Amino acid sequence: MKFPHNVQQVVVLFCAIVVGGCAFLGVGHQETSLSDTGFPRSVETSIEQVVLVRPVLAHPTRAEVTLWQKRHGAWQAMDSPIKAVIGRNGLAPLNEKQEGDGRTPSGIFRLERAFGYPVKVRTKLVYAPVDEDDFWVDDPAAATYNRWVKGLPKAGSFERLRREDFLYRYAIVVEYNTNPIVAGKGSAIFVHVWRTPESSTAGCVAMSAGNVRRLLRWLDPEQNPVIILGDQEGAT
């Protein structure tokens, strides 16, 4: 199945987000109010699943990820935090992400589609297996910038999705800069498998293969899942 080129991105409404002050709950399903989570008010209505990525201050390329489910109007933290890594240059402040800067963008973005090497995976997201003929274009001058294409792209630079290092064995597309696409604002932002727990990325969020599979199983498009990338500094 081929993905559509453009998927609507959540409008970023959180100029006063306070993710840096979130309380990460322990193992189990503990209820908390919206004010306790520090989520922006824009997640209060139709959004019922949140993947919250919080950088670790002592290690700017590392992050903690918590999964939040809204039930009966209250948010519940699902199990314990997940260890992850982010861009080699940390998190970009809101609206400052640029192509090739090695930073992970701040913001709230939809999670609707995924890809990987297996023909099938257990997920409710739109999923497509990739082969050697699948590419993601990262050339800002190309007409297909920040798009997944079949066949060798007519572009100065691009990324093969069937990587030999298996980092994209399982991957979830972060709908950053996908609708509309702005040339030079960054491309190919995914949640994917990390190289090691001490590594970093070119701008993606990476974690163990088991935890990416966990996300794939949990995310449900009917609950309008989003990923929140940001802390106090990155979201102001």
Identify whether 236 is part of a domain: no
Identify whether 33 is part of a domain: yes
Identify whether 49 is part of a domain: yes
CA 142 to centroid of chain Cα atoms: 23
Closest by Cα among 162, 164, 166, 152 to 131: 162
Give me the pLDDT at residue 233, please: 35
Give me the pLDDT at residue 231, please: 53
Closest by Cα among 84, 91, 69, 73 to 25: 69
Identify whether 68 is part of a domain: yes
Identify whether 133 is part of a domain: yes
Helical H runs in 75-129? Answer: none
Give me the pLDDT at residue 16, please: 31
Burial of 124 per CB tally in 10 Å (0-12, 13-18, 19+): middle
Give me the pLDDT at residue 25, please: 30
Residue 24 carries which side chain, given as an amino acid letter?
F
Give me the pLDDT at residue 57, please: 87
Identify whether 114 is part of a domain: yes
**pLDDT 10s digit of each residue in the chain, 236 long?**
444 443 333 333 333 333 333 332 322 334 444 445 556 555 657 899 999 999 998 899 999 999 999 998 889 999 889 999 999 999 999 999 999 999 999 999 999 999 999 999 999 999 999 999 999 999 999 999 999 999 999 999 999 999 999 999 999 999 999 999 999 999 999 999 999 999 999 999 999 999 999 999 999 999 999 999 985 333 32
CA dihedral sign of residues 54, 171, 9, 25: negative
Cα atoms in the Cβ-side hemisphere of radius 13 Å centred on 44: 12
**Cβ–Cβ under 8 Å, residues 124 and 91:** no
Q: Which two tokens stand for residue 203?
A: 């701008």
| Distance, CA of 12 to CA of 208 (rounded, Å) | 28
3-state DSSP assignment of residue 222: helix
Give me the pLDDT at residue 72, please: 87
Give me the pLDDT at residue 42, please: 54
What is the domain count for the chain?
A: 1
Contacts of 182 (CB under 8 A, 6+ apart): none
Domain limits for position 196: 19-229
Identify whether 6 is part of a domain: no
| Distance, CA of 109 to CA of 112 (rounded, Å) | 10
Identify whether 75 is part of a domain: yes
